[in-house]
């Protein structure tokens, strides 16, 4: 299976929030809409996802996993677990616990960050 990092990340996100819009995914992944659009186009061409018009707002397209896309979930999770295990292999259990705790804190702060505001402050 040939996936780019962006495709991999987007697929993992879709497993958690299937039916999201392109804008929802862009916000959740904190990346621009055009990058998400390009990645979605590739995933659609590869048969992982399909786009459906929203029943209430026909301008919005909901992103859904295809059956093939859903079938890849165990494999993608195993890749993620292998990667994490590789990264923490040389750490002590205490260090692993500390890293996990700090990543949770960073992830929570990251989800609350307003990047447009931060960019505006930096540009001044």
Domain boundaries, the chain: 1-83, 91-124
Quick one: pLDDT at residue 30? Answer: 82
pLDDT tens figures, 32-64: 899 999 999 999 999 999 999 988 888 899 999
Identify the three-state secondary structure at position 46. Answer: coil
Quick one: pLDDT at residue 46? Answer: 96
Dihedral of alpha carbons 114, 15, 74, 101, sign: positive
Residue 34's nearest CA partner among 42, 26, 45 is 26
Q: Are 99 and 91 in contact (CB under 8 A)?
A: yes
Residue 14's nearest CA partner among 93, 72, 56, 79 is 72
pLDDT tens figures, 67-86: 999 999 999 999 889 988 99
Q: Tell me the average pLDDT across 104-120.
A: 79
| Vertex 80 angle, CA 75 and 84, to 5° | 145
pLDDT at 115 exceeding the cut of 90: no
- Burial label for 90, CB within 10 Å (0-12, 13-18, 19+), is exposed
Report the predicted TM-score, pTM, of the whole model to 2 decimal places: 0.73
pLDDT at 29 exceeding the cut of 70: yes
Residue 124's pLDDT band, with cuts at 50, 70 and 90, is: low
* Architecture of domain 1-83 in this structure: Orthogonal Bundle (1.10)
């Amino acid at each position: 299976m040939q996936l780019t990092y962006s495709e991999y990340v987007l697929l993992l996100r879709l497993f958690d929030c299937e039916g999201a819009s392109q804008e929802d995914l862009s916000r959740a992944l904190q990346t621009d809409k055009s990058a998400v659009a390009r990645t979605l186009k590739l995933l659609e061409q590869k048969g992982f996802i399909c786009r459906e018009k929203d029943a209430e707002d026909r301008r919005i397209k909901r992103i859904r996993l295809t059956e093939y896309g859903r079938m890849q979930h165990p494999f993608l999770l195993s890749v993620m677990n292998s990667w994490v295990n590789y990264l923490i292999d040389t750490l002590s259990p205490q260090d692993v616990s500390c890293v996990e705790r700090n990543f949770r804190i960073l992830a929570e702060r990251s989800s609350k960050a307003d990047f447009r505001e931060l960019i505006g402050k930096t540009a001044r």
